[in-house]
Structure 1
Amino acid sequence: MKNNNNQIVFIFKKQNPEKFSDDNVSVLGSTIYYSEENDFSSIELSPNNKMKSDTIVKKVVSNKICLSHTYNKTQKFLYEFQKGDTIVFDYENGYPYASVINRKTLKFDTNFLNDIKIEKPLEDFQFIVKNKRIRNENESKTYFKDLNVYRVTISKSLDSLLKINQISQSIYELHKASNTFFEMNANKTLIKSASIEDLRRDDLLYLKTYRYFLENYAVEKFKLKTQFSNNPMTCNSKVAFDSIVKSSVFSKRVKESLLYAHLVNIAENNSNADLNVYFQKFQGIVNDSVLNEKIKNNYLLDFTTLKNEVKKVYFTDLNKNKSTLESLILKNKGKVVFVDFWASWCAPCRAAMPSSRKLKENYKGKEVVFVYISIDTDFEKWKNASGKEKLSENDNNFLGINYPHALFYKGLQLKTIPRYLIYDKNGKLVHQNAPTPESKEIKEELNKYLEE
């Protein structure tokens, strides 16, 4: 594909599903995000490359981007690309291997972490996956020692490669920073050693590791309590937001990055009223119309009134057309309705989607309607996940606007997903906890109500 200087072309070769040993890992394990230079907004790439290669074209404004590719859930890869690039990701070896095909690159520019072949100590999550438990105190001490050795080794390797012109200056600096701030994030005692310059690196905001460092620093700086020590965003984001506003240690752009992170956290974990209050504060500080519009779009702030409705269940489709559960059931009266509750972040839900699609295909031409309702809080994440699951606006695919406030949800005690419902031909809810799509029982249930 021909590229131009205002975009980046990503070509994702077919993955190897046999490399996965866990279905849930294969569903959610491959996440790809990038941020543009001097920006902190993450854009997700959702290639459909399980069966064949897929190409995604993205318009970019800045001269370069930083891309993070998490593969098979625990493998993490970091890349820097330039505006105008065409990149091919190959998965033949069981991990993503990138090639820039429109220009020459130095030997270690594109796949430094793969090519350098220095074994990295298992991160906490990786350790849990492998050993089915958390580290004990002695293992944690050993981990920090090994991590320091790894960081020093990586740093020396980068210095040597730069000296012999085997890696570009910009990519050298990216991996240097990632290396430094990764160790700080892993060993929180090191955060106290951060300098004032570390808090004003606008040039590193496109690096997720640096943004995570800033979040950890804020927790330490403002003495915020967290629910989980390894996740700074489990703190009270309202307190964090207000503390960051008053602080003068951060650069303007870094402060905006932190405020945005905590505003998103408020949107996903607090009330609609809290979100409205803090979004107003955010708009008064951050004069970025594109970013503010993105927040309004992602968190459906135009539907604020409907979010608080309790008597009816409101939905939106991918085109922001709103509807109600009542109207949906009425529209399909005379048919059996199978409802699938899911979310982009729910691994079991996503793992069950192929079976749900197959079940739908089995009843094609029959009086059965399949409805998919997401309880996501983020419209864009739902939209991206819908694309991956091949759910379009024509598939009765909806996002619940007023979940979990509607009385209907409370009556169902809908707290865990996936969850399946069945309505009979008269529009009566006859099964509040229907069998799963892959079970033998679901066909028996659907057939029973079809014959009535």
Structure 2
Amino acid sequence: MKKPSTSLLLLLGLLFCKPGNTQNQDSAIVLILDSIPTLVRSISPFPKFTMETKKYQLTIFDNFNEHRFNPRPGVLDTIIFLPQSDHTILSFYYEITRQPLDYVVRRGDTLGFRFVNGMPYVTVHDKKKEAALNYEYNKIAKHGFRHTPFELYKEPVTVSKSVNELLSYKSGLENQFYLPARGLLTGELSVLNSWKEFKQEFLHMYEFYHDKLTNQIYSMDRAQAQLTADTIKNILYANKAKPVSLSYSYFLPLLETIADSAILKKATLLRYSNGSELDYREVYDKTNEWADVNDFYKKQLLFKYLQKIGDKFSLSDLEKYLSKFAEFSKDTLLVKNIKSKFLVADNKMALSKDSLYMLDAQNRQLSLQQVLNANKGKVVYIDFWASWCFPCRQQMPHAKELWKQFEDVVFVYLSVDKNKEEWAGAAAAEGLSSRVHNYVVLNAEQSAFLKSIDFGPIPRYLLYDKDGKLVHKNAPGPGSEEIKKVIETYLKK
């Protein structure tokens, strides 16, 4: 028998070995994955054309909140999840050119997953429930595990004969498969509606798959300009009137495309010297005033646009709109998500002007001065960078050479990313995660220190001597020969 991974045994202990923690045992969803295949993340169907994805293999939708996982391939792996909702949606992304399979899971369920033709198949003790859980798997199996017309509509790369056909005639290929795909989904919806036993015994599953098929048809119709303004208005009215009972609805991506036309395309385009950007503050305000959408779905849209504000605008703008969102949504989990993702501190450290404050990978806050004080007697080389800065990342291979050559030098990496996840991902990719001094800056906009050194474009490098004195506020980059000479000079002092 294959052994589960050590990390998951530890997780089991954290969840279940506390006295009196029986509620967690009853509420947890346990997923046991038997040798999930490695997800092929890129394919090259044509010369000089590569299709790539960074999607997670497994997403759990719990009251519309996304929790994403990449299970360990080729081993017996276990995921334990404590849901907020009575029913959650598991979405399995198993192949780059195929649509994910969705499963409706109840609080307290334990599901086994084996993989047939690379596709996830659920096993449970109750065979009737097993058949219901594998509703989408069984639909694909009826097609001989071939791509369905709907998948061909969504991913025409699978039938394109050349990259020119794909790029030049993508809309033509979509038009070609629109009617077959629509006919397939309409037929599946009809079969689902006639399956009385399924509806009676597994109501939540029935409601989810009915919602999915219905809104996928609407989304295709809209993409093909087959939805009239009156039809769209009726769809919005119907969804505003009925309560939200699902952990995720395919109405949301349809609503996002409607919002694109109703709000985004009419928003102000801000022009800068290096490009242009939609004013997502205006988009947020217009969405907040949108009377045709119920508050639950409006919250999902506002959350999306709030993240755009965090990505594109200042920290003060984000804090202003986060305050609006918190008042409107009353959703502390989503507010916490934004604060964590965009480094919005509850304390005032991030707003302080008297120093430069950072966060490490363990969410510990500290100042640059603390790092300098702890490394008195050593030369300190500071590298300001960001995940989105191509010139910064070009220098990283040279940085690794400096580490090897100057083991007595303290190398400090300060990211000015606004998004914590993007910083962490880029730091891991560049080999910085294992470095002691890998941080993201919290108060770049407010820091008097950065103003004092005329901080601007990155990459930017600083050099401190053994006494903790800034001796070079525009130090040479790691790829230059000059930096080696400068470091050697200060090491000898």
TM-score (norm 1): 0.70
Aligned to 2:88: 65
Aligned to 1:292: 335
Structure-2 separation of matches of 1:221 and 1:282: 21
From the superposition, tell whether residues 285 and 332 of structure 1 become closer, same or farther in structure 2 (CA, over 3 Å): same
- Deviations 1:166-199 (CA, angstroms, capped at 9, x unpaired): 8952453243145224425644663733221144
From the superposition, tell whether residues 352 and 245 of structure 1 become closer, same or farther in structure 2 (CA, over 3 Å): same
Name the larger-Rg structure: 2
Which of 7, 16, 32 in structure 1 is aligned with 2:38? 16
Mapping for residues 27-426 of structure 1, pairs under 5 Å: 28-30=54-56, 32-36=58-62, 39-47=63-71, 49=72, 52=75, 54-70=77-93, 75-82=98-105, 83-88=107-112, 93=117, 97-101=120-124, 103-104=126-127, 105-106=130-131, 108-109=134-135, 111=137, 114-115=140-141, 116=143, 117=146, 118-119=148-149, 120-121=151-152, 123=154, 131=163, 135-136=167-168, 139-160=170-191, 163=194, 169-183=206-220, 186-187=223-224, 190=227, 192=229, 193-194=231-232, 195=235, 196-200=237-241, 202-203=243-244, 206-207=247-248, 209-222=250-263, 224-225=265-266, 235-302=278-345, 313-325=356-368, 327-328=370-371, 331-332=374-375, 334=378, 339=383, 341=385, 343=387, 363=404, 366-367=407-408, 371=412, 373-379=414-420, 395-403=436-444, 407=450, 411=455, 413-414=457-458
Q: How many pairs were matched up? A: 427
Identity across the alignment (%): 19
From the superposition, tell whether residues 424 and 305 of structure 1 become closer, same or farther in structure 2 (CA, over 3 Å): closer
Q: Which blocks of at least 5 consecutive residues in structure 1 are unaligned?
A: 229-233, 436-440
1:287 Cα deviation from its structure 2 partner = 2.4
The AA in structure 2 aligned to 1:289 is T
Aligned to 2:28: 7
1:401 Cα deviation from its structure 2 partner = 1.8
From the superposition, tell whether residues 152 and 92 of structure 1 become closer, same or farther in structure 2 (CA, over 3 Å): closer
The AA in structure 1 aligned to 2:322 is F
Could you say which structure has the greater relative contact order, defined with CA pairs below 8 angstroms and 6 or more residues apart? Answer: 1
From the superposition, tell whether residues 288 and 16 of structure 1 become closer, same or farther in structure 2 (CA, over 3 Å): closer
From the superposition, tell whether residues 413 and 386 of structure 1 become closer, same or farther in structure 2 (CA, over 3 Å): closer
1:102 Cα deviation from its structure 2 partner = 5.8
Structure-2 separation of matches of 1:347 and 1:420: 13
Structure-2 separation of matches of 1:146 and 1:57: 40
Structure-1 separation of matches of 2:464 and 2:165: 46
Give the alignment's Cα RMSD to 1 decimal.
5.1
Structure-2 separation of matches of 1:349 and 1:204: 47
The AA in structure 1 aligned to 2:331 is D
Structure-2 separation of matches of 1:142 and 1:18: 24
1:150 Cα deviation from its structure 2 partner = 0.6
1:88 Cα deviation from its structure 2 partner = 4.9
Structure-2 separation of matches of 1:338 and 1:111: 53
SS in 1 for 2:266: coil
1:9 touches 1:57 (CA, 8 Å); kept in 2? yes
Structure-1 separation of matches of 2:357 and 2:249: 35
From the superposition, tell whether residues 327 and 97 of structure 1 become closer, same or farther in structure 2 (CA, over 3 Å): same
From the superposition, tell whether residues 88 and 364 of structure 1 become closer, same or farther in structure 2 (CA, over 3 Å): farther
1:217 Cα deviation from its structure 2 partner = 1.8
From the superposition, tell whether residues 311 and 81 of structure 1 become closer, same or farther in structure 2 (CA, over 3 Å): same
- Deviations 1:126-158 (CA, angstroms, capped at 9, x unpaired): 699x8379744x642441352242122133135
The AA in structure 2 aligned to 1:65 is T
Structure-1 separation of matches of 2:115 and 2:461: 39
From the superposition, tell whether residues 142 and 312 of structure 1 become closer, same or farther in structure 2 (CA, over 3 Å): same
1:89 Cα deviation from its structure 2 partner = 5.4
From the superposition, tell whether residues 243 and 204 of structure 1 become closer, same or farther in structure 2 (CA, over 3 Å): farther
From the superposition, tell whether residues 162 and 208 of structure 1 become closer, same or farther in structure 2 (CA, over 3 Å): closer
From the superposition, tell whether residues 448 and 242 of structure 1 become closer, same or farther in structure 2 (CA, over 3 Å): closer
Structure-2 separation of matches of 1:132 and 1:306: 53
Aligned to 1:438: none
Aligned to 1:231: none
From the superposition, tell whether residues 375 and 411 of structure 1 become closer, same or farther in structure 2 (CA, over 3 Å): closer
Structure-1 separation of matches of 2:287 and 2:135: 36
Q: Which blocks of at least 5 consecutive residues in structure 2 are unaligned?
A: 5-11, 13-23, 45-49, 270-276
- Deviations 1:322-348 (CA, angstroms, capped at 9, x unpaired): 2244543554462675858454x8999
Structure-1 separation of matches of 2:109 and 2:394: 34
Aligned to 2:478: 434
Structure-1 separation of matches of 2:76 and 2:391: 25
SS in 1 for 2:345: helix
1:404 Cα deviation from its structure 2 partner = 6.9
From the superposition, tell whether residues 350 and 223 of structure 1 become closer, same or farther in structure 2 (CA, over 3 Å): closer
2:153 touches 2:178 (CA, 8 Å); kept in 1? no
Structure-1 separation of matches of 2:36 and 2:414: 29
From the superposition, tell whether residues 445 and 26 of structure 1 become closer, same or farther in structure 2 (CA, over 3 Å): farther
The AA in structure 2 aligned to 1:144 is N
